[in-house]
Amino acid sequence: MNEQRVVRVSKYLSKHLRHQPERIGLTLDEAGWVEIDELLDAARAHGFTIERAELEQVVTENDKRRFAIDGSRIRASQGHSIEIDLDLPVAEPPAYLYHGTVARFLDAIRHEGLKPMNRHDVHLSADRETATRVGARRGRPVVLPVDSGAMHRDGHTFRLSANGVWLTAVVPPRYLRFSR
């Protein structure tokens, strides 16, 4: 399976496991899970055939472990726009987490803090390198340190996704460090 195919299958899975399951007639359960057989049948019926071995390869080799398999079921580990409850345990964050963004959003972020935008939660990274990659999807990356220790002390809840992404509802501006 070449890299291009892996990316294509991964994007197809993201689209239907995070955003638009109904597009291929799929219904996810309340925690985002669906039977793998149902997913493969639905994809095939809608003109995108994925072999089971391909699916397994994408799940295990995916650069960000975006998908999780549990027995006969699969789900996206984070990043949903549809209403689901991942049912992740609350976790104590490290003192600092990082958010990667781009300069054109900074004015809004300074005023409003970080908002989940189209997703369920604000996504934060445990290290600067990851946050830099996240920001670089949109242009020259700007990394904002988040005082997650203070947020935690002030009662904000954090959850850690199966693939190491820290999730929280919002980050008010006072917890962000702007270097300029």
Site residues for ligand HQG per CB under 6 A: 64, 66, 79, 101, 105, 108-109, 112, 114-115, 117-119, 123, 134, 138, 165
Residue closer to ligand HQG, measured from CB, 43 or 143: 143
Residue closer to ligand HQG, measured from CB, 70 or 112: 112
Q: At its nearest, how many Å lie between ligand HQG and the CB of residue 100?
A: 7
Cβ atoms within 10 A of the Cβ of 69, count? 14
Separation between Cα atoms, residue 180 and residue 178, nearest integer Å: 5
Q: At its nearest, how many Å lie between ligand HQG and the CB of residue 118?
A: 6
Q: At its nearest, how many Å lie between ligand HQG and the CB of residue 112?
A: 4
Residue closer to ligand HQG, measured from CB, 90 or 117: 117
Q: At its nearest, how many Å lie between ligand HQG and the CB of residue 1?
A: 19
Q: Which residues pair with 164 in a beta bridge?
A: none
Residue closer to ligand HQG, measured from CB, 8 or 138: 138
